[in-house]
Amino acid sequence: MRRHKEHSRRLPAGPRQTGPRALSGRLPGAVAVVAAAALALAGCSGSSSSSSSASATGSPQASGSPQVSGSPQASPTPGQQNGGTQLQDAYQTVIANVLPSVVQITTGESLGSGIVYDDKGDIVTNAHVVGTATTFTVTLANSTTALDATLVGSYPDSDLAVIKLSSPPSGLKPASFGDSSKVQLGQITLAMGSPLGLTSSVTQGIVSAVGRTVTEPQGPGSPGATIGNMVQTSAAINPGNSGGALTNLDSQVIGINTLAATEPQTNGAAAPGIGFAIPASTITNIANQLIKQGKVTNSGRAALGVTARTSFNQQFQPAGAVIVSVTPGGAAASAGLQAGDVITKIDDTQVDSLNALTTALASLTPGRNVTVTYTRGGTTKTVDVSLGELGTP
């Protein structure tokens, strides 16, 4: 199978948890053998159980012995059958409704996914999928014909971009976007895209958490954006899924697949069941601005109006975010903050690096009043700041 340089973002998972895996190496010999046998049986249950069942049902039964295949417990009740069928039907309905709106995007040797945004040929995807490219080929879910597309606009700070088909075909099916405020823990989700170049693939899971603030690794087209309010899902998100749709069972897109977690202790191996999607409200806000004006002026994200870098103490440990420059007329300038000031806290949130400052701001909203703690000339000071809004000139 042809290898692609598929687009996906990976970030470290939390500290590795201790558990059975860590303990198994210290099991006594006899116990270890039993455990290994149990694992082998569990791993082969799909194939060996059917052959064992055939052998049992084909063997002569002792007089009066019940037939296993006839045991009432062996068959699901009508209610269980109906419930399973209904859920299966719901999955298939969502797939039929949404999958035609999910496309594959190719940029040279790189590959990702996208979502049809309107019937004019606009497609929303991740900024890291488009990278620095301005031309693309797009393959629709119901076609093998590659279509040309060009860049409308990219907003790496929220890792979103819009491209447009040069000659939109008739019958394009725009996706329906859901209400981000109604996304709840435990909701069933389906992730659609082109993982590893396998077009129109679907995985399933649930909403594991909402309101996550996640910092991406740096890469082509992405400065290592810190994105707030992300949806965490257990649906598998693999390389090539980036830019694809995360949907609910109402056939609505509730997020755009963006990140998959990895474990640093396993040399970057995937951490199963931990993926992140940018919420629908952010998608529609950014996409509408990119389509109408080619840039973003109202991101809905809080900003201090400064350029900063990580500050280090005498022991060369991160100790804050030092302001390099202040935007004239911005929130920091209006509050009297200056270049050289070292920010150490936003309200009660400690700031020991530029990343910590960015993360703290990602969870806040424009117009909110916060107390900024900073040092100037070795003296600790505080000032109240009314946050501005992150945008582009």
Question: At 44, is the secondary structure helix, strand, or coil?
Answer: coil
- Among residues 128, 157, 158, 222, the one annotated as catalytic is 128
What are the start-end ranges of the H helices in the chain? Answer: 20-24, 29-43, 45-58, 78-98, 127-130, 280-293, 331-335, 354-362
Supply 28's token pair.
């006594």
Sequence-distant (6+) residues with CB within 8 A of 61 are: 67
- Among residues 122, 159, 341, 352, the one annotated as catalytic is 159
Q: In which region does residue 312 sit, left (phi positive, over 0), alpha (psi from -120 to 50) or beta (all else)?
A: beta
CA distance 351 to 380: 14
CA distance 138 to 57: 53
242 given a catalytic annotation: yes
CA distance 321 to 141: 46
53 given a catalytic annotation: no
Strand-strand pairing, 9-12 and 253-263: parallel
Phi, psi of 37 (to 5 degrees): -65, -40
7 given a catalytic annotation: no
174 burial type by CB count under 10 A (0-12 exposed, 13-18 middle, 19+ buried): middle
Give the total residue count for the chain. 393
Q: Among 138, 139, 136, 140, which Cα is nearest to 100's?
A: 140
CA distance 227 to 283: 12
Supply 75's token pair.
């068959």
- Among residues 8, 200, 222, 242, the one annotated as catalytic is 242
Residues classed as catalytic? 128, 159, 242
